Amino acid sequence: MGDIDVFAGIVGNDGHLGQDKNTIFIINSDVHFLKSKAIPMIHRITGKTVIPKPSISGFGKLKYKINVSSAILWRELNRKYNIPSGAKPISIQPPNLNFIEEKNSYLSGWIAGDGSVTIDRTRVKIEIWSKSSSMISWFREVLKENGIESKIFEERNKNEFILRIGKRSEVMKFYEKIEIPHPKKQNKLRSLLFTS
């Protein structure tokens, strides 16, 4: 699992690039995830140490923000991973990645940032969302390259697309091939697959 690919997935879904062409932001409600995974990743990539700061979202929910300054990393996230500066939900495009390992790492970072592992009645499922239909279609192709079946749904009320891995056999294939770099989500996936 490549740090930069995972990090790009996290930023692509749960962060943004500053207009200054230097600052990279990540906002997440799980401070443990930021401290145990995202911050060490930033340190390995940039050599910099950052601290999460509390931030209240527009819905009044407590989240934590981290930011790192690196013009080189900013450029790579913008050019190779197609993460635009500023607001990005619809304008973000799929990254320029050639190898399945890179694609899997980016996908795992996206799920770590804001994907979900849940149960529908008794069935375990994995879901990711985006306002960008091209991103959701790209993720479906990545899963297909891994031999994993998924479906796309449109949530019209929220103007959002949902990619769902809903069959237990397909979720098991995901578990065997791709690790979610978010301890709570990975542990929940393991627990739902092996204890239910």
CB 189 within 8 A of CB 117: yes
Token reading at 105: 């790492």
Token reading at 93: 């495009």
What is the pLDDT of the chain when averaged over all its residues?
A: 92
The structural domains of the chain, ordered by start, are 3-79 (3.10.28.10), 100-195 (3.10.28.10)
Q: pTM of the prediction?
A: 0.93
Of residues 99 and 2, more confidence is placed in 99
Alpha-carbon distances of 82 from 34, 74, 92, 94, rounded to whole Å = 23, 11, 6, 6
CB 131 within 8 A of CB 27: no
Three-state secondary-structure class, residue 155: strand
Does the pLDDT of residue 57 top 70, yes or no? no
Residue 160, Cβ density class (10 Å: 0-12 exposed, 13-18 middle, ≥19 buried) = middle
Three-state secondary-structure class, residue 166: coil
Does the pLDDT of residue 196 top 80, yes or no? no
